[in-house]
């Protein structure tokens, strides 16, 4: 057994050699040594690290595989947001000219000024991730998420062989967040599926889903079995890199020198002509690329100009995605089914003879709505053109002329269904001027169950903390919640048995459910999810009718007497309460001790509270009340809450750290209230609605 100092030197040499071999094999497609020799080096490193566990390091090649499965992904707050970029709507090469025109206009350049230098890159079709390196060592990997917060997928990203665990730099930056795309090359995808078929195991749908699904596996050993690749194209937080490049193309060159895979298909040069030539070239080469793309990306090359151009609506002005026209193929319509969506929308879907288009085999394509089916005159037996681009749902574009073998009947959704929902049997309804038919059994229909539960439990409805999308999926899929009243029969024992739901979390959810039993009439009305009835309308209905029973029995004329309730909204409310299923759900909620305070009705008016017509602005943090609670109390008393202080503002409610709104209020002489003064002003009506 070698001494510790000898072992450390040998381990360092082995790690460097294996990293060099990985880079040559996975990035350059130029293996340096036979597989048997590579395996021998890897086994030697494993043995030395086992004998000297104190010499293990997170950047060792042996740490790419084998971590224990995770109970869940931890959230990661991006220090620099991962923002999306604008998509150029003109898919022709002239889209590049449109981008150049916008950039020059923003910079104040005219025709005699020199051209702007751009960088053109590929738009990969994979999963965006951010990799954080501290002093050259990979410490964290996160998905984009919503741009502000992603998921920690470090263990899975470590399994990507072509990705450096340690940067190739003697003095790496103190912090470097490299951003890019995890994807699966077409050849790797085909080889993987061939092996899976040989084993009789499930295959992947397409390379993009394969990559995204692999990175979001809770078990890193599963991700390690998938042939993933990574390409760098951007960055987030950077610290301690004093001589960093000043151009986009220079940054990518530096990333390549650090050991990151960077696509060779990129150019930089002056003006729109550079971009148009790149767009045309990649269009010709697209099918020959080793991976899927759905367009190209243009960026202003000089980083100083990027900073000058800045952002608009959280999108960089200095960059744009220029996609290619969607791919299209023809096939035959075998039938037309009707699907019921989460919100009750009925969508006709064409059942197709399988056709490979846009990277996947398509067997279904949306027909959008009855009007679209009739406009395109799609009938069973027709030969049609199907379009798919990226992750967009496949759609039927048009009927192929002379492609109709037999003359099938025109499509009639209402007649096909006999006027009732194919899932629950409730009446279907199509409002005047709308294109979509909808199921009216919102609280009863299984197709709408998850959406109904999510809306019912949302913060501004019944406010049941802990009933998010994943938990609702578990409860509905597991048969624990079939209708809304089932929520109130859940107990800690059954909840604790759910996957990733311990006893403490189960007890918290049960407590939140119990607390929600006492609500307000306005919240309950909003929680029912009646089409067109938002928070404001729910409050007006509660004030006007005073009780749920009065609202349920109200004819259309009485409903239209409520401010801002017109014929369409009134008819939607009437249809909802006309359904026996919905009335049964409400009776069951009452039986489950869901209760609310009712009052005498106030016919003909939307509210006569003590704050009627008064305008409020909220700023800072109050000691006991949340912003939503304060807003609800003010509105329940007839007041209105706006976002900015003006001469029309009556009161500013200020808490801790109030910011500029307080200064503006004092400047205009607006009355400022603290929490105690607000509650005194509200008097006894604060939360009665």
Residues identified as active-site? 123
Q: How far is CA 573 from CA 428, 565, 590, 662, in A?
A: 14, 10, 20, 41
Residue 349 contacts residue 402 (beta carbons within 8 Å): no
Three-state SS for 343? coil
516 to each of 279, 302, 480, 542, how far by Cα in Å? 56, 55, 19, 18
- Cβ neighbours for 493, distance < 8 A, ≥ 6 positions apart: 506
What distance in Å separates the CA atoms of residue 4 and residue 667, rounded to the nearest whole number? 72
Residue 338, phi then psi, degrees to nearest 5: -125, 120
CB atoms within 10 A of CB 615: 18
- Cβ proximity of 160 and 225 under 8 Å: no
Picking from 419, 423, 359, 353, the residue whose alpha carbon sits closest to that of residue 381 is 353
| DSSP letter (8 states) at residue 253 | H
d(CA 499, CA 507): 15
Q: Count Cβ atoms within 10 A of the Cβ of residue 640 and give its class: 0-12 exposed, 13-18 middle, 19 or more buried.
A: middle
Buried b / exposed e across 475-495, counting CB within 10 Å, b at 16+?
A: bbeeebbebbbbbbebebeeb
3-state secondary structure (DSSP) of residue 385: strand
CA angle 583, 527, 347 (to 5 degrees): 80
Would you call 223 helix, strand, or coil by DSSP? Answer: helix
């Amino acid at each position: 057994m070698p001494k510790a100092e000898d072992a450390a030197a040998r381990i360092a040499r082995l790690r460097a050699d294996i990293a060099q071999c990985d880079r040559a094999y996975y990035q350059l497609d130029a293996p340096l040594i036979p597989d048997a020799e590579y395996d021998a080096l890897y086994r030697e490193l494993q043995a030395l690290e086992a004998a000297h566990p104190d010499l293990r390091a997170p950047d060792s090649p042996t740490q790419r595989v084998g971590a224990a499965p995770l109970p869940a992904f931890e959230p990661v707050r991006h220090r620099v947001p991962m923002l999306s970029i604008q998509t150029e709507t003109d898919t022709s090469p002239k889209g590049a000219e449109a981008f150049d025109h916008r950039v020059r206009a923003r910079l104040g350049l005219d025709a005699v000024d020199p051209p702007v230098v751009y960088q053109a890159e590929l738009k990969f079709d994979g999963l965006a991730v951010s990799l954080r390196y501290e002093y050259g060592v990979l410490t964290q990997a996160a998905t984009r998420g919503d741009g502000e917060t992603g998921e920690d997928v470090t263990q899975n990203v470590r399994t990507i062989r072509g990705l450096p665990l340690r940067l190739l730099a003697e003095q790496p930056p103190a912090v470097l967040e490299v951003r890019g795309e995890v994807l699966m090359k077409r050849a790797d995808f085909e080889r993987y599926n061939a092996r899976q078929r040989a084993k009789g195991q499930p295959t992947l749908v397409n390379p993009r889903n394969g990559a995204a699904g692999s990175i979001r596996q809770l078990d890193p050993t599963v991700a390690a079995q998938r042939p993933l690749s990574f390409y760098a194209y951007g960055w987030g937080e950077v610290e301690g890199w004093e001589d960093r490049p000043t151009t986009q193309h220079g940054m990518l060159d530096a990333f390549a020198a650090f050991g990151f895979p960077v696509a060779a298909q990129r150019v930089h040069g002056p003006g729109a002509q550079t971009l148009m030539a790149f767009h045309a070239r990649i269009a010709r080469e697209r099918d020959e690329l080793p991976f899927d793309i759905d367009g190209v990306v243009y960026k202003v090359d000089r980083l100083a100009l990027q900073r000058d151009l800045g952002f608009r609506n959280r999108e960089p002005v200095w960059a744009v995605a220029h996609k290619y026209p969607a791919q299209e193929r023809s096939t035959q319509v075998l039938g037309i089914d009707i699907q019921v969506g989460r919100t009750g929308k009925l969508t006709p879907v064409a059942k197709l003879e399988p056709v490979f288009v846009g990277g996947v085999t398509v067997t279904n394509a949306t027909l959008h709505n009855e009007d679209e089916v009739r406009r395109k005159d799609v009938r069973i037996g027709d030969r049609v053109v199907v379009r798919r681009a990226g992750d967009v749902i496949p759609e039927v574009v048009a009927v192929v002329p002379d492609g109709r073998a037999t003359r099938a009947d025109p499509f009639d959704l209402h007649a096909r269904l006999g006027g009732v929902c194919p899932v629950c049997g409730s009446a279907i309804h199509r409002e005047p001027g709308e294109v979509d038919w909808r199921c009216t059994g919102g609280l009863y229909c299984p197709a709408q169950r998850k959406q109904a539960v999510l809306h019912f439990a949302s913060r501004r409805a019944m406010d049941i903390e802990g009933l998010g999308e994943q938990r609702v999926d578990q409860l509905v899929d597991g048969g624990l919640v079939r209708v809304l009243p089932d929520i109130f029969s859940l107990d800690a024992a059954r909840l604790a048995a759910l996957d990733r739901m311990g006893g403490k979390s189960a007890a918290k959810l049960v407590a939140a459910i119990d607390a929600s039993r006492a609500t307000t009439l306005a919240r309950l009305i909003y929680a029912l999810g009646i089409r067109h009835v938002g928070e404001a309308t729910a409050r007006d209905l509660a004030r006007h009718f005073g009780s749920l029973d009065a609202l349920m029995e109200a004819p259309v004329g009485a409903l239209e007497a409520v401010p801002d309730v017109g014929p369409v909204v009134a008819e939607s409310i009437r249809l909802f309460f006309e359904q026996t299923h919905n009335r049964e759900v409400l009776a069951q909620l009452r039986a489950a001790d869901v209760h609310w305070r009712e009052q005498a009705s106030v016919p003909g008016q939307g509210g006569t509270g003590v704050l009627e017509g008064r305008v409020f602005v909220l700023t800072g943090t109050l000691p006991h009340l949340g912003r939503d609670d304060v807003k609800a109390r003010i509105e329940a008393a007839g007041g209105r809450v706006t976002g900015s202080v003006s001469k029309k503002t009556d009161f500013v409610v200020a808490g801790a750290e109030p910011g500029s709104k307080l200064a503006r209020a004092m400047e205009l002489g607006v009355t400022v209230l603290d929490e105690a003064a607000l509650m005194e002003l509200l008097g006894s009506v604060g939360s009665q609605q």
